[in-house]
A and B are shown apart, each in its own frame.
Chain A
Amino acid sequence: MEVVIQRDSFPQLLEKLNRYNIWLPRKNGDYWEFKLSRGKESLDKKYTNTKLSPKKFVLPQTETLFQITEGENGKFNIDEKQKKDSLDIVFGIRPCDGVALSHLDKVFLNSFKDPYYSKKRDNTVFIGLACETPPFENCSCTTMGESPFSTKGLDILLKDIGDRYIVEYITDKGKKLFSGFPNLFGKITTKDKESLEKIKKESNKKIKKRVEDLSETTKKLDIMFDSDLWFHESQSCINCGICTYLCPSCHCFDINDEQLSKKPLNVKRVRTWDNCQFPIFTMHSSGHNPRPDKQSRYRRRIYHKFSYFYKTEGEHLCTGCGRCSNYCPAGINIFETLQKVAEYE
């Protein structure tokens, strides 16, 4: 269902929602990030996309799973209460990052439902903002078969048509959120629809497809595990964690105990982001490492995203947001690798 809200009414909408935690994209120095709203605000017209993906709302970099305290005569108490019950509303999620949320859902809400993820997912409303122009140079959602108007993973999608936003409700959660203030929303007109179509068309045109035929890439991966392409593609990699930590779909994590006090024992069991590009990620306690070099780690990254996940979930674990390639210190460009794979003989 679609309705319309005037751009001028947006601050009013935020005000009505002010009992929730409202997150808006705001500039921090040279880059954008989600910040708590200060009240009556608008969505900044200059907004591109956040440098750090919105995955932190459902998979924070650091998260306490539970706290373990030692009681009397060697007894232990495990407190697994999750504090968060309040609703978070995030405005300005780009459609690619919405797609990533749908990927994370597949990982965390499958047969072993992750209660931490699931609770945060339920308690967050993700409000997307369609892209009229590609936010980044390396953007390429179309390569991944998505579009700048994709609704996957989102609760609401806003489409900027100049002085007003077209509001598309995707989930009931999204619809419910705005249902209390009908005065702010109007009916969508034919003219609105026309301007939207025009913007859509132009927007799609502006986004370059970076890999000619991604299905070819996926096919080729089946036969090129032992290719020396992986050595060459990863040669300039410096083993840092930028590509995966900035990736909206990457979700690997670590679990550790962190001691708050030794006696009586008080421990937090903490989940933190982890990263398949770090050498220690797969290292056994014996010192043996199944992926001992950067070529096997880079290969893992590509295979996980474009072969393995595709085989198990029917989708590529990549949204084409371009963050990994924009911020790689060594300038490694994932799209170039994918194209080379497609052309492999």
Chain B
Amino acid sequence: MNENPYFPNLALITSIRDEVGGDRAIKTFQTRFVNGNNFTFKSGQCAMLSVFGKGEAMISISNSPFTKDFLQFSILKSGRVTSALHNMENGSIIGVRGPYGNSFPMEKWKGRNLIFIGGGIGLAPLWSVLKTALVNKKDYGDLMLIYGARTSKDIVFKDELYDLRSEMTVHLSIDKDESGWNEFVGFVPENVKSKVSWPQNSIAIICGPPIMIKFVISTLAELGFEDEQIYTTVENKMKCGIGKCGRCSIGEHYVCTEGPVYSWAELKKLPQEY
């Protein structure tokens, strides 16, 4: 690896999959480093992707560290860089640097039940930790995924979610009823309330829009979860990824180096600047 922390390593896009269409389109990209050099990462970490000429964007890595031959990113089309990524094709070259940030404390969770709670694109960072937990399934108790999207069309990883049911409990939801939908209808916190009944010895991991995270946390608290049992990820605008440029700061923390994974017990102590 290059010693310059700002240096983007060239990577080839090896596959692009459409997840969601429309104005808030989501695509999943797999990349392979051109020079074969790679970085090892942990679930929860992010990478800074470059579209040359457009700039950089910090994106969470959505595959498990156990799949070593590629990096996977699920990206919501949102601004200049992500739109440019959406316009790319198989075989295009991008820059990748990282990995950045802390990771989910999966060692600490051993022996616990894991409840993954996601909304929309929030399934992407969860996917890495979820897949890793599945590999080491015997280390953990029961595994459960509660995932919701606005409509059935907004659900990401549809095929994988289908396959996932053979390995763990999966509860899906959409905000408003649609014909042919036979799972939960309503917001994610409501689904959590109806499905989760075992706070003891459990860890809840939440990723999704800020408003969803907020309500899921209060729902979990009502169900008897302690702050230390709840984990989430924070995102703030980032430029450098190495704790210098200043913009992702929350209190004395830089999300890019000390985040993005926080237990609610930790996050609660920080000012609400995210």
Contact = CB atoms under 8 A, between A and B. Distances in A.
Shortest 5 CB-CB contacts between residues of A and residues of B: A252-B246, A285-B79, A308-B252, A112-B242, A290-B273
B245 A252 contact: yes
B224 interface: no
Contact of A253 (B7, B54, B210, B245): B245
A290 B239 contact: no
Nearest to A280: B237
B246 A78 contact: no
8 contacts: A68-B53, A74-B91, A255-B240, A284-B236, A285-B79, A290-B250, A308-B249, A309-B252
A276 interface: yes
Interface in A299-313: 300, 303-304, 307-309, 311-312
A257 B53 contact: yes
Contacts, number: 111
Given A75-B93, A251-B244, A308-B252, A115 B4 contact: yes
Contacts of A288: 210
A291 interface: yes
Contacts of B273: 282, 290-291, 296, 300
A282 B242 contact: no
B274 interface: yes
Contacts of B2: 80
B65 interface: no
A308 B247 contact: no
B5 A112 contact: yes
A225 B237 contact: no
A257 B78 contact: no
Interface in B2-48: 2-8, 10
Q: Do most interface residues of chain B lie in helix, strand or loop, or is the interface mixed? A: loop
A283 interface: yes
B52 interface: yes
B250 to A, nearest CB: 8
A309 B252 CA distance: 7
Contacts of A308: 249, 251-252
Contact of B239 (A115, A255, A300, A311): A255
Contact of B55 (A65, A80, A114, A255): A255
Nearest to A259: B53
B7 A66 contact: yes
A contacts with B: majority SS: mixed
B245 A257 contact: no
Interface in B102-130: none
Nearest to A266: B53
Interface in B86-103: 91-93, 95
B52 A253 contact: no
Contact of A285 (B3, B4, B78): B78
Contact of A112 (B79, B95, B244, B247): B244
Interface in B203-223: 210
A257 B8 CA distance: 13
A267 interface: yes
Interface in A32-78: 65-66, 68, 70, 74-76, 78
Interface residues of B, number: 43
B245 A255 contact: yes
A311 B252 CA distance: 8
B52 A267 contact: yes
Nearest to A271: B6
Contacts of B95: 78
Interface string B243-274: 11111011110000100000000000001111
A254 B52 CA distance: 16
A253 B244 contact: yes
Contact of A286 (B78, B92, B271, B272): B78
B246 A225 contact: no
Contacts of B7: 66, 78, 80
Nearest to A226: B271
B154 interface: no
Contacts of A304: 246, 249
Contact of A76 (B52, B249, B271): B52
A296 to B, nearest CB: 7
A71 B217 CA distance: 50
Interface in A238-290: 251-257, 259, 262, 265, 267, 269, 274, 276, 281-286, 288, 290
Nearest to B91: A74
A285 B82 contact: yes
A270 B242 CA distance: 16
A255 B249 CA distance: 16
A23 interface: no
Contacts of B252: 307-309, 311-312
Given A80-B4, A257-B53, A304-B249, A108 B244 contact: yes
A121 to B, nearest CB: 14
B245 A274 contact: yes
A253 B239 contact: yes
Contacts of B3: 115
Contacts of A76: 10, 52, 93
A253 B6 contact: no
A332 interface: no
A143 B237 CA distance: 34
A229 interface: no
Nearest to B274: A290
B210 to A, nearest CB: 7
Interface in A73-99: 74-76, 78, 80
B271 A254 contact: no
A254 B4 contact: no
A237 interface: no
Nearest to A284: B237
